Amino acid sequence: MKTNTLFPRADIIGFAVLAVVIFLLLPAVLDSFRLNLFGKYLTYAFVAVGLALCWGAGGILSLGQGVFFGLGGYCMAMFLKLEASTPENTAIQSTPGIPDFMDWNQLTALPWWWEPFYSLPFTILAVVMVPVVFAFVIGVAMFKRRVGGVYFAIITQAFAAILTILIIGQQGFTGGVNGITDLRTLWGWDIRTDEAKEILYYVNGVLLFAVLFAAQFVRKSKLGRLLIAMRDQEDRVRFSGYDVASFKIFIFCLGAAFAGIGGAMFTLQVGFMSPTLVGIVPSIEMVIFCAVGGRLSILGAVYGALVVNWAKTTFSESFPELWLLGLGGLFIAVVMLFPNGLAGIWSEQIAPRLTKLISKNTNPATGQGAPAE
């Protein structure tokens, strides 16, 4: 009988390799500027892992994950902005003590819904709960009515457009197209220094692993197998006695929670949040991270986010106008040639050859093949 442990051997190796890459390899070879960049890339990995569950396992394609990333990011940015807007720092404003963009937009008092963001515990809760509540509302409205497939994708895309327009339009409350900038300290701790950025990189890594463990738990539970069943035969699942909508809502909310955490870590590491990170284009890019990494694999999603973002930085440094074409080409190539992405190349091409190699080179009595790096 097949045992169904949480971590089969191959997954342990995969997690360990990723831990080595994130916690040892990258910090060792990158200077602090580049390390911060990779920290930023890894915040997208949170979204990609959520998409691997929603889309890869459950077949729910959301083209609006930027919404949840943005909501998490904005919650964190609001807290940081309030902390940066002390009366002393903002003494030259006509209303000191409120964020600068509000003053520029002739607001004379802090809106009531900004008030709770003076509290860090509330903010941390909001980073997760605001995206989850929003996803829950969308999920109930869509999945209970059995809206799915391409219609769902289009509607989520519309939400990404709506939120961007809303943020840009409500300049006085949101900072408009510039976003929320000039963030300085977290509970008095300056987040702009190199040391702070390095610490935030590690915090980000630890949180990413927490999210990966949660995703692994879901994937290996009966719910994970149910998602696969739903993807292939949604109708049949109902006749196995499951309310399909509630499972879709759950996984969509979980993906939103992951994305929210990623967004908050983005704000902390990059030092601002803006509507350009929320809209349609970033939302589609997030799907590409997941597709390139391999939408069936949560670890693949992390590598996808890293590789695509690294390529984006590298290529747009040298050929800024060609990058978008390159990204499109990459997406087409992955879909046509490697539908299971990097993870598929690994598990279908490299891993079998590696196992052959290892079993040839090691004494079967000891059976110890060195895990490949």
User: Please, what is the minimum distance in Å from the beta carbon of residue 219 to other proteins?
Assistant: 11
CB of 242 to other proteins, least distance (A): 5
- Tell whether residue 232 is a contact of other proteins (CB under 8 A): yes
Q: Which of 228, 324, 345, 351 binds other proteins (CB under 8 A)?
A: 228
- Total binding residues toward other proteins, as defined by CB under 8 A: 28
Q: Of 101-109, 180-188, 224-232, 334-342, which segment contacts other proteins by CB under 8 A? A: 224-232
Q: Is 140 in the site for other proteins (CB under 8 A)?
A: no
DSSP designation for 369 = P
Q: Is 243 in the site for other proteins (CB under 8 A)?
A: yes
Under DSSP, is residue 273 helix (H, G, I), strand (E, B) or coil? strand
- Per CB under 8 A, 360 contacts other proteins: no
What's the CA gap between 246 and 186, in Å, rounded?
37
The CB-of-270 to other proteins minimum distance in angstroms stands at 34
Distance (Å, rounded) from C-alpha 316 to C-alpha 324? 9
Cα separation, 352 vs 341, whole angstroms? 16
Q: Which helix (H) or strand (E) segment is 186 a member of? A: strand 185-186
Other beta carbons within 10 angstroms of residue 20's beta carbon come to 13
Tell me how far, at minimum, the Cβ of 3 lies from other proteins, in Å. Answer: 9
Q: Decide: is 239 part of the binding site for other proteins (CB under 8 A).
A: yes
Residue 4's Cβ-count burial label (10 Å; 0-12, 13-18, 19+) is: exposed
Residue 221 as a binder of other proteins (CB under 8 A): the answer is yes
Distance CA 24, CA 47 (A): 23
Nearest to 278 by CA among 135, 134, 67: 67
Residue placing its CB nearer to other proteins in the complex, 2 or 353: 2
CA-to-CA separations, 28 to 195, 197, 311, in angstroms, rounded: 15, 15, 20
Inter-residue contact 280 to 161 (CB < 8 Å): yes
The region of 37-45, 195-203, 245-253, 326-334 touching other proteins under the rule CB under 8 A is 245-253
In this complex, which beta carbon is closest to other proteins, that of residue 119 or of residue 240? 240
Residue 225 as a binder of other proteins (CB under 8 A): the answer is: yes
Interaction pattern, residues 201-220, with other proteins; x per rule: CB under 8 A: ----------------xx--
Of 241 and 364, the one with the shorter C-beta distance to other proteins is: 241
Q: Tell me how far apart the alpha carbons of residues 14 and 8 are, in angstroms, rounded to a whole number.
A: 10
Q: CA 49, CA 262: separation in Å to the nearest integer?
A: 10
The CA R_g of the chain, rounded to the nearest whole Å, is: 22
Minimum CB separation of residue 191 from other proteins in Å reads: 35
- Alpha-carbon distance of 38 to 312, in angstroms, equals 12
Residue 347 C-beta: closest distance to other proteins, Å: 15
- Answer for which of 23, 242, 331, 338 binds other proteins (CB under 8 A) is 242
Nearest-5° angle of CA 139, CA 140, CA 144? Answer: 110
Least distance to other proteins, CB of residue 57, Å: 10
Per rule CB under 8 A, is residue 1 in the interface with other proteins?
Answer: yes
Q: List residues binding other proteins (CB under 8 A).
A: 1-2, 4, 217-218, 221-223, 225-226, 228-229, 231-233, 235-244, 246-247, 250
